[in-house]
Amino acid sequence: MKKLTIRQTKVIALNFLREAGKELFKYEQDHFKQFIGKDIFKVNGEIKQKYAHDRKVIEFKKDGIFYNAHCWLTYRNSQHLDITIKICINGGKYPEPGSREISTAFCQYEQHAFTLFTLKDNKIEEAKQHSEYFDEVFNEEEISKKADKLKKIAEEYRKELDEFPYEFKSVFYIERLTTH
């Protein structure tokens, strides 16, 4: 396997987060939909045993990359049943000790939380869907073009900022951009 760049790794990880997230979200949603209108929680916020089920885990290897996705549920403020989806992708290899090879090893974690259901009087109710998040697919070339465009805009901004009177920056809420 060739060495992946940080950007390539990030794109692969975020696209997998969305793909696996869509599947895990639907799996949990399908299970708990049957309990709409019911109080499925113990006093401490745990799900009562008769409503619980096993969490789904997604694991596979493709093109030398190991993929893993899992989720957990959180009872938040007695108003939400949230799902947090966490993924890990890893691959490549470390060189043998004393070797002049370059390491191709990488590991990237990503996670995102969503409201699975809202709660009213501790009973499950439908929540907003998140398909717009799950359906977004990133492309490294497009992201790189946008980043280059932003860097050019930021450089122009910095030049203009240098010419703006310092004493008025706070009055007009003009902020300094960070440099990277």
Residue-level pLDDT at 154: 86
Tokens of 20: 């696996």
Q: What integer is the mean pLDDT of 112-122?
A: 91
CB of 100 within 8 A of CB of 127? no
Model confidence over 24-69: pLDDT tens digits?
999 999 999 999 999 999 888 889 999 999 999 999 999 999 999 9
Q: Given this model, what pLDDT does residue 180 score? A: 55
Alpha helices in the chain (DSSP H): 6-33, 131-134, 140-163
The average pLDDT across 108-123 equals 93
Mean pLDDT across the chain, nearest whole number? Answer: 90
pLDDT of residue 3: 86
User: Could you identify the residue written with the tokens 């004393």?
Assistant: 98
Beta bridge partners of 68: 59, 88
Question: Residue 158's pLDDT is what?
Answer: 84
| pTM (2 d.p.) | 0.83
Placement of tokens 């990359």 in the chain: 65
